[in-house]
Every structure is written in C-alpha cells, then in structure tokens.
Amino acid sequence: MEKVSVLRRSRKVPEVRLSFWGVKLLTTAMGEAVSDFLVYHMNPYLAVGLGAGVFALALFIQLRFRRYRAAVYWSAVTMVAVFGTMAADATHIVLGVPYLYSSLLFAVGLTAIFVLWYRVEGSLSIHSISTLRREIFYWLAVMASFAMGTALGDLTAFGFHAGLSSSVLIFAILFSLPWLTKKVWRNETSAFWFSYVMTRPLGASLADWLDMPHRVGGLGWGRGVVGSILSLLLVLAVTWVAVKKIDTPAPSTS
C-alpha cells in the first residue's frame, strides 16, 4: 500500500457521472437488504459487531491509499451502507427512538459535520478532496448521510404510512430535484450533496419494496434473494467502472 501523506496529488473520490449515481444506488439498496438479512438470520449483536469490524477495515484500507481505486472506494461505501443501516435501525429498535426523532438527530449530525468541514476547509466540494483531513470529513458526512437516509426511508414508509412503493416514488423525485430544477439550482456542491443524501432512502426503500412481504406492501422476494441479486449487480458494476476507468478523477488543483 502507498504511504499516506498530509497533501495528496490526486482526488480520492470518483468523477460524478451517470455511472457514479448508478453504483451509488446499488450500494444503498444492497446495504439495506444485506444488513436486514444478517440481523434477522444471525445473532443481531454478532451481526452488528461483524458489520462494524468489516466497515472499519474497509475504511482503513481506503484511507491508506493515496489515489482513487474503484474497488477500494466502493467497498468502503458498501460497508458504510451496511453498517449505516444497522446503526439507524438500532437507534429505533434497540433504543426506541421514533423515526422522526432519529431522522432529525442524524440530520443535525450531518449539518454539524458540514458546518465544521466548511469552517476548516472553506469548501464542501468533492473536487477538493485530496488531503487526509478533507477525506475524513467526507467519510464522516457519508456515514451521517447513510444513517439519516435510512431513518428517512423508514419514516415515510412506516412513520407516515406512505407505503413502500410510494416511498420509492417520493425519493426518486427528490433525488432528481436538482436536475429537474437545474435552471434555478445552480450551486453544484449543494446539488451534489442533496442528491447524494437522497440516494440512501431511495435505495433503501427500493430494497424494502422488493424484499418485504405482500402484507406490508412489498413484492415478497425475500431479503436473501434481493441481497444476492443486488450484490452481484454491484460487483459487476464496480468491475466495469474499474476496468473502463470511466470514473477516475483528474488530478486535484487545490
């Protein structure tokens, strides 16, 4: 592995193209299905411990590299998705925090990260993530966004009783909002982070709709089947972007 330095010459995150959003949505949906499958098919405390351990390892490896590597980066994002689901679910199920309050709690945490990040670095742009400190801020924001997104998805589907399919539609519209209003939504950084946060409840709602039983509004495919299909699609997608190098970032100038 390459030694980590304070100042890096290359950005550590991929170019934001259509492929980025496709892979990102796969990680969110797959993380929801796999997390639920593990928690419900093995000791939940063991599942959470295992998720935390693999997540920490994946993030450590990502931070050790000086340059973007598709397989390494997306492995870290995937484990954030899995462990973020576990953390959000534990907040509601184990601690008994209502979905509305947990959503607000994670939203406050994400806002605090953004405020501190901006005060320290002067920018929230992913195009400037070329140092270890900026990357740490980035991953803190990613983790908070995944936890908040999970809580938001559950809030609309179960807290507000909108239903699973309606939740998918709601978050699909919200995810597309910056693009649909691009003539008035001109700030690229805020547009990116808004859509980034929305991918989490969109993917989670989609996974729940596919795997949950008919009696709660799902298609009833089962967590194991949905998790396996999404995992395979994710591996194929990451392999494709890694081989084609279509999302390899240009050298940072900041």
pLDDT at position 3 is 43
Residue with structure tokens 């935390």?
Answer: 52
Report the alpha-carbon distance of residue 55 to residue 78 in Å, rounded: 8
Q: How many domains does the chain have?
A: 1
Q: Find all residues with CB under 8 Å of 45, minimum gap 6, and list them.
A: none
Task: Enumerate residue ranges in the chain where pLDDT < 50.
Answer: 1-7, 253
pLDDT at position 89 is 78
pLDDT at position 2 is 42
131 lies in a domain? Answer: yes
pLDDT at position 47 is 87
pLDDT at position 5 is 42
151 with 106: CB under 8 angstroms? yes
177 lies in a domain? Answer: yes
228 lies in a domain? Answer: yes
Q: What is the pTM of this model?
A: 0.89
Structure-token pair, residue 246: 């279509």
Q: What is the mean pLDDT of the chain?
A: 89
The domain in which residue 72 lies consists of 18-244
Residue with structure tokens 């890694």?
Answer: 242
Residue with structure tokens 């959470």?
Answer: 48
Q: How far is CA 59 from CA 63, 75, 100, in A?
A: 6, 8, 29
